Amino acid sequence: MKVLIADKFEDRGMVGLREAGCQVAVKPGLKDAALADAVRESGCNVLVVRSTKVTPDILAASSHLKVVIRAGSGYDTIAVDAATARGIRVSNCPGKNAVAVAELTFGLMIALDRRIVDETNDLRRGVWNKKEYSKARGLKGRTLGIVGLGRIGYEVAVRAKAFDMNLMYQDVIANEKIEKELGIRRVGFETLLAESDFVTLHVPGGTKTEHLIGHDQLARMKPTAFIINCSRGGIVDETALAQAVQAGTIAGAALDVFEIEPGASDTEFKDPIRTVSRIYGTHHVGASTDQAQDAVADEVVKIVRTYVETGRVINCVNQTEPVTAT
């Protein structure tokens, strides 16, 4: 089995793939036509990606390609319909980085409440301003609205409970077990927006959730509320968000993901949202802890090993005719 890894990948994953008898080629930083060439030239059966986009042209580059694995949970960077049409299976690693994303969400929540980024920036400039920064509202007793109570939303809720926050969630699926376990209430989207002190988004990207948060939704939030997005960029309309924060419609926001995000090998970030004060940002690093990346690498090895041994693709997100391992 030939495996092409087109992004940064943990060494333990590389070792595991070789132990599973795979021929592994590593080519991080390639994209578009260059990646299509690498897929063709390597004759890979399995392509492993993290941030790199897998376009229909890349999928069409070689008839040897049978499986694409997203070394993460979301798979909106992969042209799944085109893969399905070619009988290429697409698989992911759901839940493996949930704790890491929840941890960053919490970091951002506290950073927003305490204005840690502004405070640090002032200190760096030699400014001491205890008076200005002594106005945090605190987390205890505040309402956290979680949009999407999947694996990440759940891990956020667990941590929020330890902070004595009041919890509510909105999800198409009710989860009574978690409601009982954590004392979290399922509410409608409108109620969540109107009552939350923090709104945190944990739904998949894609057309169904595009601009789920726009002008109308922001207008329903409290002027003291914050919004946090560690899921996918397109879920928040950035123009509407910038206007809402500048107008004081909401108090601020923190984004780990952006509408137009640089690729893995890009080093520039020109998104105008970066200049808006009270909007904090990180570099799509929610999943980027050692623990999470080790767990993701182990899952990738498990997927490939199972495929080698049985021809079955675990965590497959698309329906195709059965593909035989080669």
Are the CB atoms for 149 and 178 separated by under 8 Å? Answer: yes
Q: What sign does the dihedral 320-321-324-326 (CA atoms) show?
A: negative
Considering beta carbons, is residue 87 or 204 the nearer one to ligand MLT? 204
- Say whether residue 97 binds ligand MLT (CB under 6 A): yes
- Segment contacting ligand MLT by CB under 6 A, of 20-28, 66-74, 243-251, 267-275: 66-74
Question: Of these residues, 179, 211, 261, 278, which one is catalytic?
Answer: 261
Choose which of 55, 73, 105, 170 interacts with ligand MLT (CB under 6 A).
73
Per 3-state DSSP, the chain is made up of helix, strand and coil in percentages (nearest 5) of: 40, 15, 45
Active site residue 261: yes
Write down the least CB distance from residue 296 to ligand MLT, Å.
8
Considering beta carbons, is residue 67 or 287 the nearer one to ligand MLT? 287
- Say whether residue 43 binds ligand MLT (CB under 6 A): no
Q: Which amino acid is at 68?
A: V
- Say whether residue 74 binds ligand MLT (CB under 6 A): yes
Write down the least CB distance from residue 151 to ligand MLT, Å.
10
Type and span of the H or E element at 144: strand 143-147
Give me the helix-helix angle, 116-124 and 98-114, nearest 10°: 60
Residues 251-290 that bind ligand MLT (CB under 6 A): 284, 287
- Say whether residue 202 binds ligand MLT (CB under 6 A): no
**Residue closest to 105 by CA, chosen among 235, 255, 212, 244:** 255
Type and span of the H or E element at 107: helix 98-114
Phi and psi, residue 88, nearest 5°: -95, 130
DSSP secondary structure string for all residues of 247-305: HTSSSEEEESS-SS---TT------GGGG-TTEEE--S-TT-SHHHHHHHHHHHHHHHH
Are the CB atoms for 6 and 49 separated by under 8 Å? Answer: yes
- Segment contacting ligand MLT by CB under 6 A, of 69-77, 117-125, 127-135, 211-219: 69-77
Considering beta carbons, is residue 197 or 256 the nearer one to ligand MLT? 256
Q: Which amino acid is at 48?
A: V
Residue written as tokens 């980085």? 97
Residues 167-186 that bind ligand MLT (CB under 6 A): none
DSSP conformation class of 184: P
Choose which of 13, 72, 148, 153 interacts with ligand MLT (CB under 6 A).
72
Total residues interacting with ligand MLT, rule: CB under 6 A: 8
Write down the least CB distance from residue 97 to ligand MLT, Å.
5
Question: Of these residues, 232, 238, 259, 299, which one is catalytic?
Answer: 232
Choose which of 27, 50, 151, 305 interacts with ligand MLT (CB under 6 A).
50
- Segment contacting ligand MLT by CB under 6 A, of 71-79, 195-203, 209-217, 240-248: 71-79
Considering beta carbons, is residue 250 or 297 the nearer one to ligand MLT? 297
Applying CB under 6 A, which residues contact ligand MLT?
Answer: 50-51, 72-74, 97, 284, 287
User: Annotated active-site positions, please?
Assistant: 232, 261, 284
